[in-house]
Structure formats: structure tokens, C-alpha cells
Structure 1
Amino acid sequence: MDHVELDREDRIRRALQHLRDDTTDQWDDTVTFEAREYTDPELAKRERELIFGRVPSIVAHSSEVPKPNDFLTMRMPSNQVLIVRQRDGSVRAFVNLCRHRGALLEEQPSGRCRLFSCAYHRWSYDTDGSLRAITRDNTFGDIDRSRFGLVELPVQERHGFIWLIDAAGAKIDVAAWLGPEMDAILGGYDLADLHCVRSEGFDEPVNWKIMQDAFLDGYHIQYAHPNSAAKHIHTNVMTFEDFGRHCRFVAPRKTIDRWIDEDPGDRSLASHITETHFLGPNCTLLRQPDHFQLLTFRPDPARPGYSRMEMRLIVPPVERSGMDPAKWRKLWDKNWEILLAVLHREDFPLLRASQTAMVSTSAGPMVLGRNEVANQLFRRETRRLLEADGT
């Protein structure tokens, strides 16, 4: 094994020891928080501006726009966004708005287009954002067309993902945002060689931080998922690494149990764990033995009690899988349906109820435990971003 894999095996064995001792990695202390953090419109506005308008977050996998002229559209907290693969293979992002009268330029969620044409008055734009045509321009009047191309947003591809900052004029540097440790970790996964086989988004009446917290939490599995995840993954056991803005943790699967009373020796235990990465400010990347799952959480543009969750299943392409296409598709379709069932039957109802409870005016302080290490880091880093402007 190389050094990276030996380090992983060491982290797995620490998790195995936690199982033997009925312990887990812990934060320095408990911390209290208030319900207003999930309901206050002014705080929600600051999050949109100071978090999503300043730092990169993942909005897609590169395989979702594989060819020149392929595009995606999405709603970010502050902007409607159009992402387009350019003729030279690069990716650019624009505000999805016609510069004439402000109509939504492209209404489809994805597709392929050589020219974007506004349905209102048929102004047209090249895929590089430049204003190509003004209908009946002999009567419209003279304007400097270079000033009325699509407004560009900062975007960058790295590690097979498309990262965006939701504010025109911001500078984007994904490697610097990730930091050397997490940048190297993602670089070792060869995510650019994988394929996003399924993706779907859900608009939920839940604050984005409540949503994100649920998918960093190893403490709730036995209680919220007794007939699904709890049958496979241990509750309240993890080994945790703090990378500042990001973290990584290992949770043991129950197939590891035979090694609680037996020495595994030098054998790899990697197939007996789930490895989770929090990629700040709003992504959970789960590394499974044969694929990855990416979960992203974004605030609603106006309402603090609403958010959008997007889920992606990222897998080896059929050509590398050794399976025929029909079997490959059946495998991942089944995996996807299991994930959706857990979300809709178990996670979402709990989280909607949490948001409902948070509007209680006499809620009183609540508390994160020392065992909720990834949740502690998420809250710490969110607060750091909000305090970065000195207010």
C-alpha cells in the first residue's frame, strides 16, 4: 500500500477501536446556538452575500456539460445562472438574463445550443456571452454592443467539478479555497474520470444549514433510519480530520464487526467504511467503495426557511465498469432509487418538522454535542465567513 492508503487504513482502525471502546472522536466542547440562525431574514441575506457571493461552491460535475455548446441552468441564492461549455473546452458562467428587458434567457434546465435567443424580443447571444443580434436594429437605436453582453460570473473546473462564486466581479481560486490538504485529497480520487449518471434537485421548506447538518451527522442514524441506513452503518462512531474550511471523517459499516474481536492484521478494511467529506461552504461528498455521492445545499433567494438540495451519483463510466450497458444502468438506477426512498421517507419529513419548530419564539438556546464534530466544524466555518467583513 502507498502512504495515502496506509493513512486511510490507520483512520479505519481508529474507528474500529472506537467500536471496541464505545467512543468516538470529539470536539473540544459543546456549543449553544439559537433558532434565529435558521429563521432570520437579515442573517439569511448576509449568508447569501458573504458566503455564496464570496467563496466557490460546487454546482455540477464536469460530465454534465461534456461537449462544446452543452449548457446547464440553475438558480443560485443571488442569481439565475447559465453555465456553458465553450468551443475551446473551457467552461464559462453567466447571469441567465437578457440585457434588453431582463427576461430569462434560457428556460431549459440543460441542453445544447449554438446561440441563446431570448423568447421575448429575440435578442441573441453567442455561447461566449457576447451580444450577437438585436432584432430590428435599424429602429432600436445605437448602443455599444460590447457593454450589453451577458454578465459573467466567476467559474472554474477542478477535480471534475464545476465551482462558482455567485457574484459578478469576484475572483475565484478553487485550489486556494480548498487548501493543500483537501486539494490533494480530491486530486487523488480522479473524479474527472467519473460520470454523473443521475442528478436531481429538491426545493424544500427547510433552511439550508438544517439540511447540510443532517448529512454531516452520524449521531442520528439509529434513531432516524432504523430500517435503512442503521442496518448498515454504525451510529455515533467516527474518526475525524479538521482541514479548517473542510473536513473528512470515516464511519464504520456493520460488515466490520467481525474484526471487533479479531485482529484484521494487514488486510485492507476500506470496503467496511463510508468516508465523508465536507467541502465548505455547502457540500457533502461521500466516498463509497465503488462510487461517490455529492449532496449540495443552497439557500433560497429570499426566504430563510427554504432551500434547494441537489443530489448527484458519480460513478465509473460504463466503458470502465466491465458491465454491459443495461446491467450498468440497472445497478445505478437501483442505487439511486434506494437513496431517494431514504430521503423522501425519512430525512425530509424530519427536517421539515425541524424548520417548523424553529419558528417558536420561546425556543431557548439549543446545543451541539462534542460528538457532533462535523456539525461543529460546519458551524464554526459558517460563522467565520459571516464575520470576515468585520461586522
Structure 2
Amino acid sequence: MLALSGTPLSLDEVNTSSKTTTSTMSTPAKLYGKDVSEYDEIDVESLLSQLSAEEISILAKEVDPDDSLLPPDQRCSYECDKTPTGPLNRKKLIQHINKQALETPDQPEMKPYVPGTVRGKKWIPPENPKQKEQDEQIAIDLGDEFEEALNTASQDEIIDLAAILGFHSMMNQDQYHASLLDKGQVGLGWGGITKASQPKVYPPEEPNRTDVEESIKRVQDDDSKLIELNWNNINNVSDEKLEQLFQALPDNTHLEVLSLANTGLTDKTAFKLAEALEKSATLRVINLETNKISAVGIVRLVKSLLVQRVIEEFRASNQRSSVLGNKTEMEITKLVEANPTLLRLGLHLEYNDARHRIATHLQRNIDRTNYRPLSATVCCS
């Protein structure tokens, strides 16, 4: 039974009334035969004083325990009827809880665990639906003239046509390049289409067998035949050997190309090389790629090129610090712009401004080097 406004309704009446159209209530809502507004003036404390202890306990269970207006000890619906044994000792309470947890035996499993057995229903991934391949035949009308030409064309002519149209996947590389260079067809026919040609086997590159001791002595003796010194990829060069080489560079008058790529150069040896470049008047090309020089060492080396102004090519990319930074790149840019003889610079620059300014200046140096004024001839009659 449901009651609204004091009038009891049966379940059938409620079902029939729910099927009818609802109308807005014009009369105020009532609770137990009284308007809801009348309960605002009731004194709650006087009503609670009239309740018994049992009724208050029942009412307390209906109260929301998360009500922030209630004290913390009244927000829990659990009630303990035991008398307190003494003041709360948190340390002893935690020790007692841990002791009970260790002494309480585990609940026995319904089925013992057996390694390798599967309990319950084993999950099987669903099978992917197989995609049915449908052969679609597209009819293309090329016209009688083109169809007759293709039907009477030989295999070599069709392969040449594929090369002209850019159908690279219809032939291997040998056929494609032969068609481009007009060298005729390379055998194979249709059996070679879409098959890769065998790659050419090249022997591995031999290690650098330059004698370090001998080359240092030749530099110290100012050998006229030693124009280029290549120490690339010699990893066992010590700092002492490098310093000996750099000390001999200022007195050498024939060495023009010095390659020290992947030789383990650090800032210590790079500063020694910078001092040597400030005194050497014959070196033209310096290659220091793939070493361990920092951004400070790169700036020091580029700055050393301004003393003699004879270096035409300087390469120092792929160092320890892959990114030089904006400040370092701008400093290198100013040093390069002050160098009138540098023609090629091998450095990885991140910012477009530095790349553009350096490229413009190097092109200006190249144009100035290649420019030769015409000799004027004066004729007198």
C-alpha cells in the first residue's frame, strides 16, 4: 500500500494511474496529512527528548555516517557493547592485530593448485575472419590502334615501354638502367621481372696502415714528398704522438692536407692543434670529423684559422656534442664571416640563420677566388 496526502492507494490503482497522463500538482506537497512547510516550525530537540534509547539507536542507524556535522565517534554504525578495558595503546593494538593475522590459518582452497592445470574455462582468442579475395577484372578500352600495337610487341619492347612510363616494379634494376641508358635488353626476359639482381660483392675496406712513427719523422724532417698525411680511423694513436705531430707542423713547409678523422681527438689535443694552425703557413685542408671535441674546442679551432688565413677547407662534424647551441653557432658564424680564405666548412649547424650566413659568405669567398680581372690593352696610334 502507498499513501499520498493521507489517501491510501492499492497497487492496482497505482499501476493504472501510472499509465495515465501525469499532470502538474497545483496543491502543496503533504507528508502524513500535513504540509511540508509545517514541519519547519517543529522543535527537533523536544521530539528527540521524547524518544527512548532503543528508538534513538534505530534512528542513529538511519543517519548518513558521512555527515560532517556529527562527531567522528558517531559516524560509524558499528556499536560495541563491551566495556572498555583501559586507555587506547596504539602500539599494543597493532602488535595484537599482526599476531592474530600470523596465527590465523589461511582458508583452504576448494581445489588444490596443480602447476600446469587450467582452472575454469580456457580463453581462446577468436579467429580472424578470412578475407575472401575477389578477382576483379577491369576492362580498359585502349582503342584498336594501341591494342594491336601491344599485341604485336615483343618482350623487349614492352619492358622498354614500362621503363618509359615509370613502372619500375615490372623489371629488375639491370633491365631498368639498361633501358634508360639505351644499351639494349639484359637477357632474363619475363622471367627476370620483379626479381632483384644479385648485389655486387665488394671487398671490405682495408684498415689504415700508415706508420705513425715514420709519418711523424717525415713531418719533422720537412719531407718535400709528404704533401698529404692521412691518419683516418687509426684508433690507437696516443696523445703524446698527436702532440709530437702538432709540434712539428709549424716548421713544415710542404704538408698541405691533414686528415685526422676518427682518431680520438679531445679538447686537450684540439687546443694543441689550434696553436699549431696559428703558426703553420702551408696547410690548406683540415679534416677532424668523428672525434670527441666539444663545442668550446670547435670554436677555438675555427678562431685559429684567422691568424694565418691559409686554410681553405675545414671539416669537424660528428663530434661528442651533436648540438652546438645557438650561442656557439652565432660565434662560429662571426668567425667564419671574418675569414676571407675559407671556401668549405664541414659542420652540422641547427639554426637556419647561421647556415644561411655561412653559406653566403663561403660563396662570396669562392667567387672572389675564381674571379680573374681581364688585362687591358692600350693601343696608341
What TM-score, normalized to structure 2? 0.21
Judging by fraction of residues, say which structure has more strand: 1
Larger radius of gyration: 2
In terms of fraction of residues, the more helix-rich structure is 2
Higher RCO, Cα 8 Å, sep 6+: 1
